[in-house]
Amino acid sequence: METVTLNNGVEMPILGFGVYQVGPDETEAAVAAAIAAGYRLIDTAAAYRNEEAVGAAIAASGVPRDELFITTKLWIQDAPAEENTARAFDDSVRKLGLDYLDLYLIHQPFGDYYGQWRAMEKIHREGRARAIGVSNFAPDRLLDLVLNNEIVPAVNQIETNPFHQQTAAHEVLKAEGVQIESWGPFAEGRNGLFTNPALSEIGGAHGKSVAQVVLRWLVQRGVVAIPKTVSAERMAQNLDVFDFALTDAEMTTIGSLDEGSSQFFDHRDPEMVRWLSARRLD
């Protein structure tokens, strides 16, 4: 497995396994299969409500803890944000059955994320999270956090796929030393991704699937990705992307698919801000 080096020297696998929208009853088996297939980066979140199942799979795997890279995410916290962030972190590591996290992310750029970030800086200094970062932060909001806080986020996890390539955001992140990580690398199959003629033709030239082409494209851009599947066969296929390389012409072709907008929703849409900001975890 190839890795990227975060801005604090921590090594992170460039491909991992995500469990968004995997129900708690399916998660343990899916994570167990992923670890058995060779995944070492596992990504979950408090909002996914499956941290306990992820933890059960980790405990049963027999893989040494230091060989795994475990990420979870902090949901929007009510005031006092610093106190509630510390409590939320403790809840997550308890559910995961771990002593520390490899990466802890602010899940959404709403609420008192400055207070959340100060609490996360403290967690990081105490060694309970090897790295801290954010998710869904637009470049301006990310830069605001970088310029006005002590610790630069190690990662920004944002929607990144062939139809929403985040090229400009990626450049800002690189300039600030923040690793880009893709959620939704396959756009959940939207916009006909898996039957796209250009991606299918490139896959045919290499004897690879469209999914493998997309993951290879992300790897060559230096983007960490966390594809989700509950199929053991597809888990193995998604890892099998290190034995070929896309040509410059193929990278350009994929680049031409960019529509420059989300395949899901816009975090700057006022109605989406209202909806996310109103959500609280029980």
Q: How many Cβ atoms from other residues are within 10 Å of residue 248's Cβ? A: 8
Bridge partners (DSSP) listed for residue 157: 135, 181
With beta carbons less than 8 A apart as the criterion, state whether 193 and 202 touch.
no
* 267 in a known ligand binding site: no
* Residue 66: CB atoms within 10 Å: 7
- 220 CB-near residues (< 8 Å, 6+ apart): 245, 246, 251
Strands (E), the chain: 3-5, 11-13, 17-18, 41-43, 69-74, 103-106, 132-135, 155-159, 179-183, 224-225
Q: Is 113 a catalytic residue?
A: no
**Catalytic site residue from 48, 104, 113, 114:** 48
21: left (phi over 0), alpha (psi -120 to 50) or beta: left
Length of the chain measured in residues = 282
CA distances from 96 to 43, 84, 183 (A): 12, 18, 21
Task: Write out the binding residues for substrate.
Answer: 107
- Write out the catalytic residue numbers: 48
